A = this chain, B = another copy of it.
């Protein structure tokens, strides 16, 4: 371990010798319980000599990060008691759950939430046994962990979660421990810039704590292996004033950390005072702490002659095979080194003097109400959507821009909820591109970096959040929702894949949290995916990908909803529905380009409530069995379907065509698989048990087959969708290339309806000719044929 050579070392001595001794006992207790969770099945306080039978048959867990987490937890507790602060604890290395769980147990919260894990010998036994044990708790800080809003399984999101939690919580300090390995991830590396989006007047504070224990799983970390000056420059470059705490001797380290915490919290207080009382507006250099200490601190120095403490070998279980000579003894020595008899009384209860180091009640980080955000959640006030409706007297008569209309409504959602400060609209620099500009009439874009007078709607406390990082937007939003607020994120459809893995983790969190009785429901994570695959006018193939839907529907059915509103009014209904829902991930896909409008608000409300339905005005099969069902999901597919229906009316006027539009994609699944799924009889009533269904779908066609494979009529579904044929071309050419256009749809109908092929041979040829005309026209004029651009249903 290098000498501490800090730009500002937290030296000095806020702690008395007695306090240090007491602190050390808490820390030893936490470390003892951590090692115990990893190794022990019985004999929790080593009241008997340790035998193999007392140890777990499968040793699973992560030790390396744990002592550092315990150390920080303790020192944060000191500050909380001293200042009566409200602090949320985020453990980036959530794999150090043994530590987080131990600390919450020492605080008493764990036993309050899980009474069987009581503050006595029996409870201690349960605490140790349950960890990473079947029927027990997982090995990461999870939804089951009191005080946690962050699992830390997939690394990289701690700091964006922390900022999300701090926004609009002016009294909260979010202490965020960041692993030095985690700091190498992209999402973490950019999330430091959250300080340019945080308003010291109206938001809380984030205290990043870089946990420089030097190693990740089996490698050193980059940030631990650059010169001190370089690290210092990096953190200052990120806009922070770092306080370095470096060393490994417990006593001086307690002293240094206490001083560092004092300094950090003093600075936070000073910054907030300057901003809130003295009107200071420049962005402050927020404090942060760098803790450089050995990985596996206080653990065995060597195992089998190999360096262990202060090395990557401490990462998981430092030694596993306890039957190996010396291992069991090493474990016993290690555990006894914490002197459990000085920590827990005869009954297995933490000594009162140590226990008194914990804050009380909701001041305990493990009981901070923000960590169970559903408790604090207030429903949004939602303005009546009918006031924003696009008037539709004839279907397809008028043209509207769906997302722009939504923007008007969102502006007023923002206005009505601004006093409560619990709603944010996020996007990766695409708010206006996605045509939600109107929201900026209600609030600015959050911006605490430099501003000029010609800037456009930047405001320190703006509630529109834009940074060119899908990860950061997602992380902020998750943090905001998990602490009981609401949000709405818009994103280019193709690039939402950037957060596929974050969505996975959030879905998993939601699923797990539902299984924890004391967790309260949080607001849903709402996406508007626009600038979608079919209308990428300024961009091309790289921006064309509708596969996010495929990604999300693998998640547990009660978590995920996918909506494809075909026009502005259905989009309004859908969005209003989503903003009232909870514990879900709602994906809305809707275009931003001018498109025909189909349904009046009345009709839209009815259609969206059902999620799927026959469009009677477009069908001609009433009272008989249809020859073909033309189904569609998505705005562009709906347009092409109706255009196809119109062509069919010309070319085959006696053909009985039924048009079914799908808004809620999950209706297609069977009711056994998804709560929104149609029953088989309802499905068959719509799609018939045996007629051909030509389905125009927004996304990859196989997805529809996957959803309906159990249906009676599955084999007669012929789905058109994205076939990975993209480029910068005209809007109609995009559908043609992927055979989703009206002509290919009609042609497929002709092929599929028995007997029609011979009758409609001329029609087929006319259609083929049209496609040739189309190709020649666009190559010459660079735009779609007038009959395409000017096409109207009515």
Q: Which residues of A are in contact with B by a Cβ distance under 8 Å? A: 41, 56-58, 60-62, 95, 129, 132-140, 142, 151, 153-156, 181-182, 184-191, 193, 196, 216-222, 225-227, 230-239, 307, 311-312, 316, 429-433, 445, 447, 449-451, 454-456, 458, 466-472, 494-495, 497-498, 500-501, 504-505, 508, 511-512, 537-543, 545, 547, 550-551, 554-556, 700, 702-703, 705-706, 709, 714-715, 724, 726-730, 733, 778-779, 781-783
Residues in B whose Cβ lies below 8 Å from that of A237 = 230-238
A668 to chain B, nearest CB (A): 12
Residues in B whose Cβ lies below 8 Å from that of A58 = 537, 730, 782-783
Selected A-B contacts with CB under 8 Å, 20 pairs: A58-B783, A134-B729, A135-B729, A154-B542, A181-B429, A186-B190, A196-B225, A218-B431, A220-B447, A221-B468, A227-B450, A233-B233, A497-B501, A500-B500, A504-B547, A505-B542, A508-B724, A550-B554, A705-B706, A706-B706
Q: How far is the CA of A287 from the CA of B670 in the complex (A)?
A: 60
Q: How far is the CA of A541 from the CA of B455 in the complex (A)?
A: 45
Say yes or no: A154 contacts B714, CB within 8 Å.
no
Q: How far is the CA of A41 from the CA of B779 in the complex (A)?
A: 12
Given A62-B538, A714-B709, A724-B556, decide whether A545 and B504 contact each other with a Cβ distance below 8 A. yes
Nearest opposing residue in chain B for A548, CB measure = B500
Q: How far is the CA of A62 from the CA of B539 in the complex (A)?
A: 9
Which one of A220, A239, A471 has the greatest number of beta carbons of chain B within 10 Å? A220
Residues in B whose Cβ lies below 8 Å from that of A451 = 225
Q: How far is the CA of A316 from the CA of B531 in the complex (A)?
A: 15
Residues in B whose Cβ lies below 8 Å from that of A501 = 494-495, 497-498, 500
Residues in B whose Cβ lies below 8 Å from that of A217 = 429-430, 432-433
Residues in B whose Cβ lies below 8 Å from that of A508 = 541-542, 724, 726
Say yes or no: A60 contacts B153, CB within 8 Å.
no
Q: How far is the CA of A89 from the CA of B430 in the complex (A)?
A: 28
A232 to chain B, nearest CB (A): 8
Beyond the given pairs A140-B539, A312-B456, 11 more chain A to chain B contacts, judged by CB atoms under 8 angstroms and listed by A's residue number, are A133-B782, A142-B542, A153-B540, A184-B468, A184-B472, A186-B186, A186-B469, A216-B429, A225-B450, A233-B234, A234-B234
A740 to chain B, nearest CB (A): 15
A96 to chain B, nearest CB (A): 12
Residues in B whose Cβ lies below 8 Å from that of A726 = 508
Residues in B whose Cβ lies below 8 Å from that of A782 = 41, 56-58, 129, 133-134
Say yes or no: B222 contacts A193, CB within 8 Å.
yes
Residues in B whose Cβ lies below 8 Å from that of A466 = 218-219
Given A62-B538, A449-B225, decide whether A190 and B193 contact each other with a Cβ distance below 8 A. no
A243 to chain B, nearest CB (A): 16
Q: How far is the CA of A497 from the CA of B498 in the complex (A)?
A: 9
Say yes or no: A539 contacts B153, CB within 8 Å.
yes
Say yes or no: A469 contacts B184, CB within 8 Å.
yes
Residues in B whose Cβ lies below 8 Å from that of A41 = 782
Say yes or no: B498 contacts A154, CB within 8 Å.
yes
A497 to chain B, nearest CB (A): 4
Say yes or no: B239 contacts A184, CB within 8 Å.
no
Say yes or no: A504 contacts B512, CB within 8 Å.
no
Q: How far is the CA of A429 from the CA of B316 in the complex (A)?
A: 14
Q: How far is the CA of A218 from the CA of B153 in the complex (A)?
A: 34
Nearest opposing residue in chain B for A62, CB measure = B538
Say yes or no: A57 contacts B781, CB within 8 Å.
yes
Nearest opposing residue in chain B for A499, CB measure = B501
Q: How far is the CA of A714 from the CA of B431 in the complex (A)?
A: 44
Residues in B whose Cβ lies below 8 Å from that of A538 = 60-62, 132, 139, 316
Q: How far is the CA of A714 from the CA of B220 in the complex (A)?
A: 51
A277 to chain B, nearest CB (A): 25
Which one of A455, A504, A778 has the greatest number of beta carbons of chain B within 10 Å? A504
Residues in B whose Cβ lies below 8 Å from that of A222 = 193, 196, 449, 467
Say yes or no: A541 contacts B234, CB within 8 Å.
no
Nearest 3 A-B pairs (CB), nearest first?
A234-B237, A153-B542, A186-B186
Q: How far is the CA of A500 from the CA of B501 in the complex (A)?
A: 8
A778 interface neighbour in B134, B151, B495, B542, Cβ under 8 Å: B134
Residues in B whose Cβ lies below 8 Å from that of A556 = 724
Q: How far is the CA of A155 from the CA of B225 in the complex (A)?
A: 29
Say yes or no: B239 contacts A236, CB within 8 Å.
no
Residues in B whose Cβ lies below 8 Å from that of A312 = 456
Residues in B whose Cβ lies below 8 Å from that of A455 = 220
Q: How far is the CA of A700 from the CA of B707 in the complex (A)?
A: 13
